[in-house]
Amino acid sequence: MKLNDSIIVEQNFNSSLTKVRNAITKIDLMRQWFFNNIPDFKAEKGFKTQFNVSSGERNFLHLWEIVDVEKHKKIVYNWKYQEYTGNSFVFFELIEKKHKVKLIVTCKITEDFPSNIPEFTSESCKNGWNYFIKDRLKEFIEKK
Domain boundaries, the chain: 6-143
Which of 52-61, 87-96, 100-109, 131-140 is predicted with the least confidence, judged by mean pLDDT?
52-61
Helices (H), 54-137: 122-130
Fold for domain 6-143?
Alpha-D-Glucose-1,6-Bisphosphate; Chain A, domain 4 (3.30.530)
Half-sphere exposure of 136 (CA within 13 A, CB side): 17
| pLDDT for position 144 | 56
Secondary element (H or E) of residue 89: strand 87-97
Mean pLDDT of 57-64: 95
pLDDT(136) > 90: yes
Report pTM: 0.94
